[in-house]
Amino acid sequence: MAAPNNQILTVAQMQAAEQALIAGGTSVDALMQIAGQGAAEWIWRIAAGRSVTVLCGPGNNGGDGYVIAETLRRRGLNVQVVAPKPPSTDAAKNARQAWQLPVASSGKGVDGAILVDCLFGSGLSRPLSPELALLLRDLAGRHAYRVAIDLPSGVSSDDGKALNDHLPEYDLSLSLGAWKYAHWTMPACARMGARRLVPIGVSSVPGAATLIDRPDLGPPASDAHKYRRGLCTVIGGEMPGAAVLACISAMRGGAGYTKLLSESTDTQLPPDLVRDASPLSEAVSDHRIGALLAGPGLGRSDDAANRLRTALQAGLRTVLDADALMLLQPDMLGKDGTYIATPHDGELDRLCHSFAVVASSKKDRAGALARASGMVVIAKGPDTLVVAPDGRIALARPASSWLSVAGSGDVLAGIAASRLAAGRNPFDAACEAVWLHGEAARLAGGPFTATELAGKVASAYAACL
């Protein structure tokens, strides 16, 4: 199970986790005090003596807002509360009663340095009314710094969709109790600013998704040799540069030996990259191969499809990327094979069509594809997630937007193949590859080319030792 501070919960899972706390003897009022005071601590530091406006809704998220306001007031800050609707839950009513100052019912004439949005939290499933949406935008426009409590109002927690147009951008989002999918899912996550977690005592939840953190890697064993560290092979194709780029990445991702399987000798290779020019069916029969990568630069011709089918018939632990994903058909995969697929949104659409998967959100499509195909799926993009056939889900923290460059996917695929060749199970290999890819981008700065990105993979690996 994921650690409590690293798990990502659906609305239903979060509600069940809160009910477990209540069943264990913690009252709703006590939970509200814990959440509100924890959030107030962050806001106190940020405010640095400046004025704060708290926008409270009618539910328990609004109740958290009253606790925040009263906590900050007691510490000496100038605090205003705006509540367009009265509290509707017992705990929120109690928190409102504890607030010692008047409450404004509209935002007229209200301004300040910091706006705290406690209008609605993770339970919201419908758009804000036009009046509330206007109030939120109006107040946001009159405060230079904006903080969302749990989630920005107007955001769907489980899929990150914006329920209203023209929602404000925030400088800080404070998640209460556990992370929600929207914190790490586009388009919502792009407008949340920095994200911090306020613990309220939630335990680890079985089946929860997790955030991808820095992997715990180590140096080779004292008696290691290149094959024991893993032989990683990459199939060449019609555009050799992409396969070479994947090889360069794989060489820096932990595997002890990387080979390019290409019968073409036209491309000049780095001196430490081995080319195997034997027929593909012969090359993939080497029992020492730890993992195979197919797709970068493969092409989409009939010959490319035949090369892919030949490679998959070898029954190797395989990473499928780029052109391989466009050519892949269900009958090409072995029933008990080990596979990682690395689709971007367009390739994910194609795979869903090929495997007769129908789902709406990116998470649901990737999950359904993993179950239908048996592949671990890295659904890459600005909100990358990894899904296993058994239902495990891991989400990546935002990586550098400079990764939106040609060839960055080849680098990711090469790292994934390297981790698979090194003996990792496919889900762990995928998660490690995603983290190393993001860290390499951070180290590369920006702007960078894919070659420059690949050159930083070894440094990213070193950060895990």
Annotated binding residue at 150?
yes
Residue range 17-32, pLDDT digits in tens: 999 999 999 999 999 9
* Other Cβ atoms closer than 10 A to 159: 17
- The count of residues in the chain is 465
| Distance from the Cα of residue 141 to its chain's centroid | 29
Annotated binding residue at 61?
yes
| Burial of 96 (C-beta count, 10 Å sphere; 0-12/13-18/19+) | buried
Cα 179 from Cα 172, distance rounded (Å): 14
Max CA separation in the chain (angstroms): 81
Judged against a pLDDT cut of 80, whether residue 151 lies above it is answered with: yes
The whole-chain average pLDDT of the chain stands at: 96
Judged against a pLDDT cut of 80, whether residue 1 lies above it is answered with: no
* Structural tokens at position 370: 């993993």
pLDDT band at 268; cut points 50, 70, 90: confident
pTM above 0.85? yes
Annotated binding residue at 158?
no
Annotated binding residue at 122?
yes
Average pLDDT for 376-389 = 98
Average pLDDT for 328-350 = 96
Annotated binding residue at 51?
no
Annotated binding residue at 64?
yes
Annotated binding residue at 310?
no
- Catalogue all structural domains in the chain, each as residue range(s) with its CATH number: 7-209 (3.40.50.10260), 226-462 (3.40.1190.20)
Annotated binding residue at 127?
yes
Residue range 172-209, pLDDT digits in tens: 999 999 999 999 999 999 999 999 999 999 999 999 99
Annotated binding residue at 63?
yes
Annotated binding residue at 117?
yes
Cα 306 from Cα 312, distance rounded (Å): 10
| Burial of 311 (C-beta count, 10 Å sphere; 0-12/13-18/19+) | buried
Q: Smallest Cα–Cα separation from 110: which of 56, 164, 46?
A: 56
Cα 315 from Cα 292, distance rounded (Å): 10
Phi, psi for 401 (deg, rounded to 5): -70, -10
Annotated binding residue at 121?
yes
Say if strands 231-235 and 257-261 run parallel, antiparallel, or are unpaired.
Answer: parallel
Judged against a pLDDT cut of 80, whether residue 266 lies above it is answered with: no
pLDDT band at 169; cut points 50, 70, 90: very high
pLDDT of res. 3: 83
Q: Note whether 378 and 386 are within 8 A (CB).
A: yes
Q: Return the H-helix or E-strand segment holding 15.
A: helix 11-23
Judged against a pLDDT cut of 90, whether residue 125 lies above it is answered with: no
Annotated binding residue at 409?
yes
Judged against a pLDDT cut of 80, whether residue 311 lies above it is answered with: yes
Task: Fill in the amino acid letter for 333.
Answer: L
Judged against a pLDDT cut of 80, whether residue 265 lies above it is answered with: no
The residues pairing with 350 across neighbouring beta strands, listed in sequence order, are: none
Say if strands 385-387 and 376-379 run parallel, antiparallel, or are unpaired.
Answer: antiparallel
Annotated binding residue at 381?
yes
Q: Smallest Cα–Cα separation from 412: which of 299, 325, 314?
A: 325
pLDDT band at 393; cut points 50, 70, 90: very high
Annotated binding residue at 218?
no
* Other Cβ atoms closer than 10 A to 419: 31
Annotated binding residue at 242?
yes
The residues pairing with 258 across neighbouring beta strands, listed in sequence order, are: 232
pLDDT band at 123; cut points 50, 70, 90: confident
Q: Report helix, strand or coil for 86.
A: coil
